Structure 1
């Protein structure tokens, strides 16, 4: 499959327009030297609609669109649990976690850990996040993006990856988070449009022109196993999504860790004008998450009928783009590439924020704001070069990149989630307890992987999380009172929310219950 001349024209116009918008946003209402709040937190000026759109754009990238479509191709609608359960998670993050972060003027997650615990906890977790963002997130987005470009255009994957790096640098290196967040709005609109159009065309193709209702009916009848939300123990994919654990087990740990404590995600909410604006943005993002399976999972399931002989499941989404008419194909392809670039820019902005504010600034003090912004830009450049070099060696052998990402981050997510939750809601938690949980997370995850290989991934996450909570509690109670840090309190924080947020939360819950009852 390839693009036609009009598609290339549409793509070029879109790319240039995006760059122009990013530059204009970066320069608007700003003069003089750019400070760290401008560059890393968009001057704390983002409105709710920019926050919500940017949260989704940062989340929806190659590993989501291509990787989750590939998982839909291989195992079906059950993979949508990652999306639908994330909607409820976002509501909880908005109500219970954001008030703590914004009240304490947090820039980064490691900064919170230093304020709550000490520099040891901060440094260990900062180094971990830098490693994961560079060697897991950046590499996976680049690799899948390069494969998508190769599948759609025929251009070599390495050239495609290089283009993505250059495009990302072109529109984010100068403007920082503000340029990324405002251009995300356009990308989300086009991605939603493109995903829904692709679902429509796929279902209509299956129905041989009889319409999407008939197409969906044929899809469910020909692939009934692909529409089980709760997989039974005899399902070949049970190890990935073990039954009720998607509702009451380790998926909660993964989601809370990702949406609540992941720097490149939560950074958008930290850049809000105020708490109310951040919570509105979170609620907006939650409803967009409910829509995501129609955009990324359903096309993958349809591809299992339309393209049953794909060599790799991750080829499903790019292959389906052949169904689109000329011109529209170029526009959707441009939106896909822009979403990939947006995620790259989001990740590198967070990498530069953590490195500059949590590591470099502690070693090289009393420099100008411009100096630290420069270091942030150099860090962005270096991280992309490293990811470009390491992408194929790390991901070239995997069929489903989405599952690879979950497996790797699953080593550390239980400990991180335990540390933050204990630190926020149990004032007796100490630095020693936090360190025990962080080390225990990786240690017990590896032990269970080796000694209990039949334990499903998600159940392992839940079990290790409980162990980490226990370690944090036991080691904290054995610590001296001098080891405790009480610089952050939650007792005087008001967790009440506006009526509009409460209505949005209730609606999201009702929709989620209806979805699971329908596809149980």
Structure 2
């Protein structure tokens, strides 16, 4: 990297911290910190939702899969998310918003104590928080690998620098800082992504490289599903991503909660869906062309995108691309940190320390900032002590994707009117059964048991969790409740006539 590249990266970090300080002035209470007080414009909410789904993982693990296998990574990743978020615009986006506007909910898990019961809520809160801290650790490793590849910065130093900057603006500015930096990162990502796309097009002599490269690549690279990514894997991941990106990944639920109304939240989801279907293509085409530009990297494909950038981009532009990598990771991490802080502050700590509920508004806000700081610090510690080789893809697929279904099913299906009779027994069994299945499969996978393929470890926990939820909740032990039914019914419309009083 040249001096101009470092100036660009340094300027980016400065702007992120400045946004955090500016956003601090907009944070008056706990509702502002976690849900932006319901005042976020729908277009900003939609862009923030879209950006919060990215991280440097895309340019490390997913870029490696695009290098090795081609088209399939768009099909099972971006396409499943884009279609899933489009479906969720009609099923969940407005529902999340009404939980805030009608029931004063500030954490995505807060409603679970009423929808099921406190033990169910606590199981999901603790399991999800543990999952998220490891997930974020993988993202620190991903961005530090990119920084090492571009600039030779040691991995530990990369994690420390990016983590510290993220910590500052997340702790100070809450969800407003997240959304505003998401927007800035959207602009940076656009410039960086287009720069790489144009450089690759120029390398091949024109835009027609988009369809000509497939004749020069192995035939399997143009197959929608290849390698370990089978039809069963695709079907399981489609359901997982539909649940995950519509609120099962808690931070994305916050984007809908922050919009002014349910109708605005729906528009946010539709915007995010459109971006997911189109923009990843711009980012993936250079990755698909990479084997023709930097051949022979199959054994070290995680560095393929880095090598392309160093080969094809001029001084200054490399810094912009690297800032784009930072932007992806910092957007997702700050978003996750904010929602985990909400879950800890609103759902977990009050069950361990009754005094939390008696804290003043300023004290609650201070507690939220402390938990945000602690979460980011813990994730950085895990990243600094992890074995980085293969760590990113292993966490993203074998841990996050495989356990997201059991954690998300009771949360997401519990908001839909078709499952009003499903009660806490089914919800608890669903989470415990799904996570237990994953734990057994994971141990078997580590012991090289042959039948535990990638498709099995992703699909079986999801299937077990879904079957338990439906079978127990609708057939074996339905638990209808007038209060639960009223809660679910109140989420169907923005009308105040359906509002149910919030329990004190």
* TM-score scaled by length of structure 1: 0.85
Pairing 1:191–2:214 present: no
1:312 aligns with one of 294, 297, 300: 300
Alpha-carbon distance, 1:479 to partner: 4.3
3-state secondary structure, aligned to 2:172: coil
Alpha-carbon distance, 1:480 to partner: 7.9
Of 357-366 and 388-397, more deviation after overlay is shown by 388-397
Pairing 1:264–2:251 present: yes
Indicate if the aligned counterparts of 1:22 and 1:175 stay in contact, CA closer than 8 A. Answer: yes
Alpha-carbon distance, 1:216 to partner: 4.7
Indicate if the aligned counterparts of 1:203 and 1:216 stay in contact, CA closer than 8 A. Answer: no
1: CA distance, partners of 2:168 / 2:304:
30
Indicate if the aligned counterparts of 1:50 and 1:181 stay in contact, CA closer than 8 A. Answer: yes
Indicate if the aligned counterparts of 1:109 and 1:262 stay in contact, CA closer than 8 A. Answer: no
Alpha-carbon distance, 1:91 to partner: 1.4
3-state secondary structure, aligned to 1:65: helix
1:41-56 superposed matches below 5 A: 41-56=35-50
Of 215-224 and 362-371, more deviation after overlay is shown by 215-224
Q: Quote the residue 1:436 is aligned against.
A: 429
In the superposition, relative to structure 1, how do residues 444 and 326 fare at CA in structure 2: closer, same or farther (>3 Å)? same
In the superposition, relative to structure 1, how do residues 366 and 196 fare at CA in structure 2: closer, same or farther (>3 Å)? same
1:98 aligns with one of 93, 98, 104: 93
Which ranges in structure 1 are unaligned for 5 or more consecutive residues?
232-236, 497-520
Alpha-carbon distance, 1:47 to partner: 0.8
Indicate if the aligned counterparts of 2:409 and 2:465 stay in contact, CA closer than 8 A. Answer: yes
1:24-423 superposed matches below 5 A: 24-27=22-25, 30=26, 34-81=28-75, 82-105=77-100, 106-135=105-134, 137-205=135-203, 207=204, 210-214=205-209, 216-231=211-226, 237=227, 239=228, 241-243=229-231, 246=234, 249-260=235-246, 261-310=248-297, 311-322=299-310, 323-362=312-351, 363=353, 364-398=356-390, 401-423=392-414
2: CA distance, partners of 1:12 / 1:170:
15
1: CA distance, partners of 2:421 / 2:111:
16
In the superposition, relative to structure 1, how do residues 481 and 165 fare at CA in structure 2: closer, same or farther (>3 Å)? closer
In the superposition, relative to structure 1, how do residues 461 and 149 fare at CA in structure 2: closer, same or farther (>3 Å)? closer
Of 404-413 and 179-188, more deviation after overlay is shown by 404-413
Of 376-385 and 214-223, more deviation after overlay is shown by 214-223
Of 250-259 and 305-314, more deviation after overlay is shown by 305-314
Indicate if the aligned counterparts of 1:242 and 1:459 stay in contact, CA closer than 8 A. Answer: no
Alpha-carbon distance, 1:478 to partner: 4.6
Indicate if the aligned counterparts of 2:97 and 2:258 stay in contact, CA closer than 8 A. Answer: no
In the superposition, relative to structure 1, how do residues 488 and 188 fare at CA in structure 2: closer, same or farther (>3 Å)? farther
Indicate if the aligned counterparts of 2:398 and 2:458 stay in contact, CA closer than 8 A. Answer: no
2: CA distance, partners of 1:404 / 1:99:
31
Which ranges in structure 2 are unaligned for 5 or more consecutive residues?
495-504
Alpha-carbon distance, 1:96 to partner: 0.6
What's the RMSD between the two structures over aligned residues? Answer: 2.5
1: CA distance, partners of 2:256 / 2:189:
21
Alpha-carbon distance, 1:317 to partner: 2.0
In the superposition, relative to structure 1, how do residues 493 and 131 fare at CA in structure 2: closer, same or farther (>3 Å)? closer
* TM-score scaled by length of structure 2: 0.87
2: CA distance, partners of 1:445 / 1:244:
16
In the superposition, relative to structure 1, how do residues 21 and 377 fare at CA in structure 2: closer, same or farther (>3 Å)? closer
Alpha-carbon distance, 1:75 to partner: 1.7
1: CA distance, partners of 2:107 / 2:423:
20
Alpha-carbon distance, 1:422 to partner: 4.2
Indicate if the aligned counterparts of 1:70 and 1:316 stay in contact, CA closer than 8 A. Answer: yes
In the superposition, relative to structure 1, how do residues 275 and 220 fare at CA in structure 2: closer, same or farther (>3 Å)? farther
1:447-482 superposed Cα distances (whole Å, 9 cap, x missing partner): 456397436434554444343233224434554858
Of 211-220 and 157-166, more deviation after overlay is shown by 211-220
Length, aligned pairs only: 476
In the superposition, relative to structure 1, how do residues 480 and 306 fare at CA in structure 2: closer, same or farther (>3 Å)? closer
Indicate if the aligned counterparts of 2:5 and 2:317 stay in contact, CA closer than 8 A. Answer: yes
1:184-242 superposed Cα distances (whole Å, 9 cap, x missing partner): 1121122122113212312432x2xx2231475135433332121133xxxxx1x2x10
Q: Quote the residue 1:514 is aligned against.
A: none
3-state secondary structure, aligned to 1:111: coil
Q: Quote the residue 1:465 is aligned against.
A: 462
